[in-house]
Amino acid sequence: MGQVISDLISSGAIPRPRRTIRFLVDVEGHGSKHYIQNHRAELENTAAAIAVDSVGHDQQKCKSSLIYYHSPDSLPSFINDYYVGLMEANPKETRWVFHTENSIPLVNFIDLPYTPWSDNKYYPVFGVPSPLLMSWPDLYFHTQLLTADMLDPAVFRRCAMTTTLAAIELANAGPAETQTMMREVATRSQFRLGQIALNASGEDGQARQRLRHIAQRDQQVVESALRLVRPDELSQHPEIEATKTRLQANIADRLDEVTDWLDADDAEPIEYEAGIVVPNRLVERDPPGLAGADYWDLHQMSEEMRATDPKMNYDSLRIIGDEIWNFADGHRSVNHIAEAIGAEFDFDLEPRHVLLLFQGLANLGYVALGEPTG
C-alpha cells in the first residue's frame, strides 16, 4: 500500500495529499497505546485510524471471510458508510458474461458492527474513528498451522485496493468530497431506517425507540464529515453547511415516514428508573472492558440477556463492555447508553445489565455515577 501510494505521487498520477498518510507497524495493542500517549496533539486532526490485522487468509482453506468491522457508534463517523461504499464499488474478481466490468466477487468481503479484536479499540475514546479489517472466522487463527500456503493473494489484494483508495481519498478530501461523503451517509441512512421498520412487524415499541436513535446517530454521522474541511474552507463554501442541513432534514423526514409503517398500538418500553443515573469517566484510558465485574455475575447476566434476546451470548459482553466506556461522557444516562448499544448491535439490551457493569467500574474508581443535569 505504501509503495503504491508513493509511486502514484512520484509519477504524477495523483497529487501529493493534503494530509499525511501514516503507517504504524507495531506490537498489537502496546504500539497503539504508546502512539496515543506520545502523539495526543495530533489525534485531534486525525481523520481515521484504519486497523489491518490478519487480512490475507485463504477463505476456503481457513473457512473465513474478509470483514470490515465498523468504527463504534459511540463516536459517530462517516467512515463506516464511506468505506462500505468503497467495498461495493471496487472491482471484483470476475465478470458477468454480458459485459466487461468485473462485478462478481470471488472474495467474500462483508461489513459487521464494531468488534474490538485489535488496535481499533484504542482510538475512538480519544476522538479518532477506527474501523478494523480482518479475516474471520479462521480454523488456524493464532496457531502454528497458519502458514504461507494458507494465505491468498486475492484476499490481500481486495483489502489493499479498498484501503489504499480510502487512504488516498481521505488524505485528499476537500469541500466537494465532504459533500459526497455526507450524501453517501444520508442515502444509506434512509435505507437503514426502512429496513428496521420493515423487519419490525409484530414487535413492540422498541422499534420506534431504535428508529429514533439510528436517525439521530446518522444525523451526527453526516455532520462528522465536516472534520475533512478547514474552518476557512467552510466559510468559503456555504453550500457545505446547506448540504449538511438538507441531508439531516431528509433523514428526519424518512424517520417520520417509516415510523408510520409501524403498528400504532405498539407501546414504548417503560423507562428503567434506576437507569437515569449518568456515568462519567474519571480516568483517561482505553476501554477497561468488564473490569470490576465478578465472573459468575457476568455468567448470570449473559444467561438473562440470552433469555431476553437469543442473539446474545457471553461473548456479547465484550462489545457491550467497550461501548459502555466509550459512551460514558457525563451527559448520557444509563438508559440512553443501553438504548444506543442495543441499536448498534441489534440487541434487546436491558438497562439494568448496563448499570451492573457500570457499578463494577465505579467500584474500581473508573467512573462516577451522578444525577442527570437536564
Domain spans of the chain, in order of start: 2-172, 175-259, 273-370
- pLDDT at site 142: 84
Mean pLDDT of 44-60: 95
CB within 8 Å of 58: residues ≥ 6 apart? 64, 149, 150, 151, 152, 155
Q: Tell me the residue type at 312.
A: M
Residue 266: what are its φ and ψ, rounded to 5°? -60, 130
* 146-150, 199-203, 257-261, 270-274: range with lowest mean pLDDT: 199-203
Q: What is this structure's pTM? A: 0.95
Mean pLDDT of 2-22: 95
- Tens of pLDDT, residue by residue over 141-165, are 889 988 999 999 999 999 999 999 9
- pLDDT at site 271: 86
Mean pLDDT of 2-25: 95
Tell me if residue 53 falls in helix, strand or coil: strand
The dihedral over CA atoms of 71, 304, 277, 78, expressed in degrees to the nearest 10, equals 10
Mean pLDDT of 249-278: 89
- pLDDT at site 265: 67
Cell numbers at residue 165, please? 483508495
Of 68, 162, 74, 151, the C-alpha closest to 117 is: 68
Q: Is the bond leading into 269 cis (omega within 30 degrees of zero)?
A: no
- Strand runs labelled E in 19-171: 51-53, 65-69, 94-95, 102-104, 109-112, 132-136
Of 134, 128, 137, the C-alpha closest to 116 is: 134
- Per-residue confidence band for 202, with pLDDT thresholds at 50, 70 and 90: low
Identify whether the C-beta of residue 129 lies closer than 8 Å to the C-beta of residue 48. Answer: yes
* CATH code for the structural domain at 2-172: 3.40.630.10
* 192-206, 214-228, 359-373: range with lowest mean pLDDT: 192-206
